[in-house]
Amino acid sequence: MTNMTAFQQQCYRVVTDSNLSPKQKSNNLALLAENHLPYVELDLETKHALEQRVICDMYEGHAPYKPRYVLPDYQLYLKQGSVWLELEPANDFDDALNMLTIIYHHVPSVTGMPVYLGRLDELLLPYVGSLTENELYARLKRFWIMLDRNLPDAFMHANIGPSDNIICRLLLRIDRELKQVAPNLTFFYDEKITPESLLTVAIACICETGKPHIANYNLIAKDFDKMGFGVVSCYNSLPVAGGGSTLSRINLKEVALRSEDRHDFLTNMLPYYCRLQLNLIKERSQFLYEKSNFFTNSFLVNEGLIKPERFAPMFGIFAMAEAVNILQEKAHLSGRYGQDEQADLLALEISQQLADFVNQHTVTYGWRNKAMLHAQSGISIDHGLTPGVRIPYGEEPDPVSHIMSVFVHHKYYSSGISDILTIDETIKNNQAALLKICLAAFELGMREFTANISGNDLVRVTGYMVRLSDIAKFKQQGSRTNTTVLGSEAASDSSGFLHRQPRVISHEQNMGHS
C-alpha cells in the first residue's frame, strides 16, 4: 500500500470509494488513465493560462477521444436501420422504441451516457399506427422508466414540441406522474405553432416538477440550419447530426482580476484570453479529429447519423457577475451586476465583444468553421463564481426584473445560455402568472425559460434535476443517480446553494476524482 505511486493511489481511492457504483468507478478510472497521458500539445502561454485556470478545459481529459456532446440523426436511423447494429428499419412503434433503446447505449459523450435522446414526439409520431392513447401511454411510460433506471444521468436530455401532438402530451403527463430526475426535458415553444393550451400544460408540469424547461424555438432556430438543433445536457443548443466537439470556458472573474481597469479588460486582457482559449479549443479538436480516430471508425459517421463537419467547439464563459463587480470596484462604482444599469451595460458590452470575437475567428474543425459562444452554467468546484452571465445566488430581483436585466444577453450565446428563475410556491395557485411571464420573456428575446418552484422535492440544481430527499440520503448510502453526487457537492457548497435559491450548474462529470 505505501509503495503505491501517486497514480496508483488515485486509482485506489476510486476503487475503494464507498459511494460510487462500479460503473461510476470505471468511468473515473478511465479518466484517470486518460489523464495519465501527456496533455495535447499547447503553446506556453495557453498552457500557463490553463494551469492558472483563467481558461478551463472542463476537465474533459488530456487526450479527447470522443466528442463532448453527440446528437445523432435518430430519424434517419429509424428510417434506414443500422448495418453495424444489425437492425432493420423500424416498422412500428415497438420497433422504434426498441431501436432507440439500443442506440442510446452506443452514443458517446463526456458522461459516457447519451446527452441527447432526440425530438421524441417527432421521431415517434410516424410509428403510432393504430395504437390507442392508452396503448401509447403504457409503452411510453415503460420507456420513460427504462431511461431513468438504465441511463441514470440527468444530463440526458429529451426534446418535445413545438407541435401539439399525442406523444408530446403523453410525455408531459408521464413525466409529471413519475417525477424522475432523468431524463431532462425541453419543450420547444413556437408562437406560430404551439397552442396556448399546450403551453399551459407545460407550465402546470413546471409547477409540479420544475420540468420541462421551455425553449424559444423560433429564436434558437435562426442560429441553425434546416437540419435543426437539439437542446442537450445543460441548455446547450447544438446542430443535429453533429454536436459539440469540446467545451472550454473563460473565467471572466480571473480576467477582471488581471486587468487594471475596464479599458484594460476590454482592449487587452479579454482579447488576450479569448485568443488563448481559441488555441486550446483548436488543439483539443485537432487531437479529436486527427489523432483519436473517432470520426474515422464510428458507425455513427459511417451510417450518416453524424457528420464530422456538424460539430462545433463551444467557446464558454462564466463568472460575468464577479467580473463586472470587480471592474465596477476598480472604477470606484458601487453598482452591482443585476441591480445597476451601468453595471448591466458593462456586462452587455462584454457579451457583445465575446460574440464578435467568436464570429471573427475561424476554426478548422467547427460547424461553419466557427466556434459557438456559450454561457457555461458551472461545475461543482466553482465556489463563489456565478454560472454564465447569471445574477449571483441570493441577489436575484423579482422574476420580472430578473428577466428584464438578463434577456439582452441571450441573442449572443448561440450554443446556449440559461437563467433560472426562482419562483415562490404561491404560483401554483395562479399558473396564468407563470404563463404570462414566460410569454413575455420570449417576446423580449429570451432563448430559454426555466423556472424553479421553491419548495418542491425535485429541484433544478443547475441544469439538471435532483431530489432534495436523495441528497439527504446520498451521504449514507450513495446514489443510484450519477448527478445526485454532483447535486450533493453543490448543495454542501458554502454559498448554500439549495438553501437560498435553487440553482444551476452543469456538471458533466464527477470532479471528485479527476
Partner 1 sequence: MNKTWAIVNKILPFSCVDGPGNRLVIFLQGCNFHCLNCHNPYTIQLCQNCGQCVGNCPNLALSFDKGKTVWQSEQCKQCDTCIQICPNQSSPMTYRYSVEEMLTVIRKYLPFLNGITFSGGEATLQLPFIQQLFAQIKSTADLKHLTCFIDSNGYLPRQGWQKVIPLMDGAMIDLKAWDNHVHKYLTGRDNQRVKDSINYLAARNQLYEVRLLLIPEQTDLLFNVAKIAEFLNLLPHKPRIRINAFHSHGVTGNAKNWHSATQRDVENFATQLSKYGLNKLTLPAVYLT
32, amino acid identity: L
Cα 31 from chain centre:
20
Selected range binding partner 1 among 187-195, 310-318, 375-383, 423-431, rule: CB under 8 A:
423-431
Q: Minimal distance in Å, beta carbon 153 to partner 1?
A: 31
Q: Is 433 left (phi over 0), alpha (psi -120 to 50) or beta?
A: alpha
Binding mask 345-384 for partner 1 (x = CB under 8 A): ----------------------------------------
Residue from 293, 426, 469, 492 that binds partner 1 (CB under 8 A)? 426
Residue from 434, 458, 504, 505 that binds partner 1 (CB under 8 A)? 434
Quick check: 424 binds partner 1 (CB under 8 A)? yes
How many residues bind partner 1 (CB under 8 A)? The answer is 24
Selected range binding partner 1 among 18-26, 353-361, 365-373, 393-401, rule: CB under 8 A:
393-401
Q: Could you tell me which of 323, 321, 416, 420 has the C-alpha nearest to residue 371?
A: 416
396, amino acid identity: E
Q: Minimal distance in Å, beta carbon 210 to partner 1?
A: 15
The set of residues, in sequence order, having a beta carbon less than 8 Å from that of 472 and lying 6+ positions away, is none
DSSP line for 284-308: HHHIIIIIS-HHHH-HHHHTTSS-G
Taking the CA atoms of residue 162, residue 163, residue 166 and residue 170 in that order, the dihedral angle to the nearest 10 degrees is 10
Residues 443-472 that bind partner 1 (CB under 8 A): 443-444, 455
The set of residues, in sequence order, having a beta carbon less than 8 Å from that of 441 and lying 6+ positions away, is 403, 407, 449
Q: Minimal distance in Å, beta carbon 451 to partner 1?
A: 12
Cα 181 from chain centre:
15
Quick check: 408 binds partner 1 (CB under 8 A)? no
Query: H or E element: which one contains 88?
Result: none
Residue from 150, 369, 401, 469 that binds partner 1 (CB under 8 A)? 401
Residue from 91, 430, 469, 492 that binds partner 1 (CB under 8 A)? 430
Q: Minimal distance in Å, beta carbon 191 to partner 1?
A: 13
Identify the DSSP state of 82.
Answer: B
Q: Could you tell me which of 416, 418, 378, 384 has the C-alpha nearest to residue 402?
A: 418
Beta-carbon count within 10 A of 404 CB: 15
CA dihedral (60, 63, 68, 74) positive or negative = negative
Q: Could you give the angle at the alpha carbon of 316 between the alpha carbons of 314 and 317, nearest 5°?
A: 170
Quick check: 113 binds partner 1 (CB under 8 A)? no
Cell, residue 110: 463526456
Selected range binding partner 1 among 113-121, 384-392, 431-439, 464-472, rule: CB under 8 A:
431-439
Quick check: 399 binds partner 1 (CB under 8 A)? yes
Selected range binding partner 1 among 102-110, 285-293, 358-366, 429-437, rule: CB under 8 A:
429-437
Cβ distance to partner 1 smaller for residue 212 or 399: 399
Cβ distance to partner 1 smaller for residue 52 or 426: 426
CA gap 123, 190 in Å, rounded = 18
Residue from 4, 30, 345, 400 that binds partner 1 (CB under 8 A)? 400
Q: Minimal distance in Å, beta carbon 219 to partner 1?
A: 15
Q: Minimal distance in Å, beta carbon 438 to partner 1?
A: 10
Cα 490 from chain centre:
16
The set of residues, in sequence order, having a beta carbon less than 8 Å from that of 462 and lying 6+ positions away, is 234, 377, 378, 387, 490, 503, 504, 505, 506, 507
234 CB-contact burial (10 Å; exposed 0-12 / middle 13-18 / buried 19+): buried
Selected range binding partner 1 among 132-140, 212-220, 354-362, 430-438, rule: CB under 8 A:
430-438
Quick check: 387 binds partner 1 (CB under 8 A)? no
Q: Is 420 helix (H, G, I), strand (E, B) or coil?
A: strand
Residue from 13, 48, 263, 436 that binds partner 1 (CB under 8 A)? 436
Q: Minimal distance in Å, beta carbon 434 to partner 1?
A: 7
Residue from 320, 403, 408, 504 that binds partner 1 (CB under 8 A)? 403
Quick check: 428 binds partner 1 (CB under 8 A)? yes
Cβ distance to partner 1 smaller for residue 121 or 396: 396
Quick check: 502 binds partner 1 (CB under 8 A)? no
Cell, residue 419: 437563467
Quick check: 440 binds partner 1 (CB under 8 A)? yes
Residue from 134, 432, 476, 477 that binds partner 1 (CB under 8 A)? 432
Cβ distance to partner 1 smaller for residue 380 or 422: 422
Cα 158 from chain centre:
12
105 CB-contact burial (10 Å; exposed 0-12 / middle 13-18 / buried 19+): exposed
Q: Minimal distance in Å, beta carbon 423 to partner 1?
A: 8
Quick check: 333 binds partner 1 (CB under 8 A)? no
The set of residues, in sequence order, having a beta carbon less than 8 Å from that of 231 and lying 6+ positions away, is 157, 159, 186, 188, 213, 215, 220, 237, 416, 448
Cα 90 from chain centre:
30
The size of the chain, in residues, is 514
Residue from 58, 205, 219, 437 that binds partner 1 (CB under 8 A)? 437
Cβ distance to partner 1 smaller for residue 146 or 400: 400
Selected range binding partner 1 among 214-222, 235-243, 296-304, 418-426, rule: CB under 8 A:
418-426
Q: Which residues bind partner 1 (CB under 8 A)?
A: 398-401, 403-404, 424-430, 432-437, 439-440, 443-444, 455
